[in-house]
Structure 1
Amino acid sequence: MRTHIVLRSRFAEDCLYEAHWRGVRQYLLLGAGVDTFAWRQPAWAGDLRIIEADQSASQAGKLRLLRAAGLSKPPNLSFMTVDLQTDDLPAVFARSPLDLTAPVFVSCLGVLIYLTRPTVSRIFRWLGGLPKGSEFVFTASVRRWNPFFFLFAARVASAGEPWLTYFKPAQLEEELKACGFSRVEWLTAEGAADRYWASGGVALPPPRNCSLVRAVV
């Protein structure tokens, strides 16, 4: 699990770097949670417009942790309150700091599995309509048929956050392209091991499963 959490952020930020190199200057984190990129941002990210969007309760909890740690808000970061399940996203983000006439890099890590399938489809359609050059990196959970999967699913359900949405790779790629994305790439466990573990020196074990997707408008 630790590998999965670290890997998804590393992959998203590597894709962000490539998008920045091509001229993208906006980074939207949908369901940002306790993501720390804005406080770890490297020198090249200084001209990024970073927007963290999340539910009010999650955002309030994060702000308390930041204050306790003595961390101030970076000047290129904005917070937005949004409920991905119920809000009209085009209307909400039309009032946001985002320039929706320019490309946007969007990450949504560990979030879609908690949303209903119709909500996920609405998110795909909205993001697929963003300007050419926009990108979307997200966790696309695939149902696993093993004891650990069922144990963990039961645990999160008992905590009030059941897993709701899973994907099948071929069907997901077809849906994303129908929504306006021109290119869809999956990062598999084998691909992740080749990309990040082949050179050695990584203390965490390579992933047994990986369900990260990069979709480009």
Structure 2
Amino acid sequence: MKENQASYSAMITASIRAYHSMNDAPKIFDDFLAYRLIPQEVRALIEQGLTKYKQFDDPEHTASCSDQPIPWTALMQATNVLSRARYTEDALERAVRQGVKQYVILGAGMDTFAFRRPELLEQLEVFEVDHPATQNFKLLRLADLGWEHPAQLHFIPIDFTKENLADAFNRSSSYDPNVKSFFSWLGVTMYLTREEVFATLRSITDIAPKDSAVVFDYFDTDAFIPEKSSPKMQKKQEVFQKLGEKMITGFNPVTLDEEIAILGLRLYDNLSPEDIEKRYFKGRKDGYHAPEHGHIAYAIVE
């Protein structure tokens, strides 16, 4: 993402969750609060096709992101947003029953968990970790809406390309490194280098005790090979590159377990597009399908 500019992909992700909640049935993931978090002028720009977008840190400045509009309907078919969110919160519920007391949302964007799931919030300390520009934008939006911050919700700013996760958490007096924790890291790995991804995963093992967990999604390496990548995947990459958030990294699902084992993580689950289709999209009549090249990983701290 661009320096000092809130993530546009975070706005689009929230828009996808909001659209699904209001228009689709059965619901894969019901984020009934997402729509309110997106300012009206941003919603209008997205729905008009993203011909232009505002730089959120400078309301008077606009930047052309494309000569051709990016279709609203194409954005709403980004089903990886729905499946990864559903998988993560289902896994979190199980983890809470098994003693998890802290929930860390890496790259939180416009996440609404702390306001949407009060029954789980009562059992957790929640930490939203994100780029300072995106986090500041969200805090201003929460203030505009008059949403009161729950006492269990904590905000930790970080630029993943410049700072170690462990260092960022050392600034927080609320996070307890001795308490079993659950980390979600959705919609981020593809924008970072392999080294940055592995550094963050390593940091999780540094700051979380044994049996803590992390769920993250990723694209496979074929997504970045033109002769192997699907047309939809190539279009998605083109869209976000125009928005200044270029996707650059994929992982081999066959070797991922070995790669993260070196970091102190055991791969517990590694859903393929076929697994995701069977679990969340089989039998749907609305044309929604699992994302091509999209995977969801669940790893345990050893």
Aligned-CA RMSD value: 2.0
- Residue 198 of structure 2, aligned match among 116, 121, 124: 121
TM-score, scaled relative to structure 2? 0.66
Cα 1:5/1:34, change in 2 over 3 Å = same
Worse-superposed segment, 92-101 or 32-41? 92-101
Q: Report the alpha carbon displacement of residue 206 of structure 1 after superposing the two structures with TM.
A: 3.4
CA pair 195-127 structure 1, distance change in 2 beyond 3 A: same
Residue of structure 2 aligned with 1:107, choices 180, 184, 189? 184
- State whether structure 2 residue 209 is matched by structure 1 residue 141: no
Task: After TM superposition, give the deviation of residue 204 of structure 1 in Å.
Answer: 7.0
Give the total of aligned pairs: 216
Q: Helix, strand or coil: the match of 2:269?
A: strand
How many Å separate the matches in 2 of 1:202 and 1:214?
A: 29
- SS for the counterpart of 1:113 is helix
| Deviates most, 61-70 or 35-44 | 61-70
Per chain length, whose mean CA-contact separation is higher, i.e. which structure has more relative contact order (CA < 8 Å, sep 6+)?
A: 1
- More divergent stretch after superposition (176-185 vs 64-73): 64-73
CA–CA separation in structure 2 for the residues paired with 1:158 and 1:203: 28
Residue number in structure 2 paired with 1:72? 148
**Structure 1 counterpart of 2:105:** 29
The structural deviation recorded for 1:184 is 3.1
Asked if the contact 1:29–1:106 (Cα under 8 Å) also holds between the matched residues in 2, the reply is yes
> What code does the residue aligned with 1:172 have?
L
Query: Contact (CA 8 Å) 2:214, 2:298: kept in 1 or not?
Result: yes
Corresponding residue for 2:249? 165
Distance 1:38 1:44, change over 3 A: closer
Code of the residue aligned with 1:135 in structure 2: it is A
Within 2, Cα distance between the matches of 1:5 and 1:67? Answer: 26
The Cα shift of 1:179 comes to: 0.9
The answer to which of 88-97 and 118-127 deviates more is 88-97
8 Å CA contact 2:78–2:291 kept in 1: the answer is no
Alignment match of 1:94 (pick from 151, 156, 170): 170
Structure 2 unaligned segments of length 5 or more: list them: 1-76, 224-228
Give 1:167 deviation, angstroms: 0.6
Shift of 1:45: 3.2
Task: Show structure 1 runs of 5+ residues with no match.
Answer: none
Q: Secondary structure at the match of 2:219?
A: coil
How far is the alpha carbon of 1:203 from its aligned partner? Answer: 6.0
How far does residue 35 in structure 1 lie from its aligned partner after superposition?
1.0
Give the superposition deviation at 1:191. 2.4
Match for residue 184 of structure 1? Answer: 268
Matched, 1:45 2:121: yes
TM-score (ref. length: structure 1): 0.90
Partners of 2:265 and 2:93 in 1: CA distance: 20
Percent identical: 33
Residues 189 and 146 of structure 1: CA distance in aligned 2, closer, same or farther (over 3 Å): closer
Letter in 2 for 1:111: V
Which amino acid in structure 2 is aligned with residue 136 of structure 1?
Answer: V
Distance between the aligned counterparts of 1:161 and 1:185, measured in 2?
Answer: 28
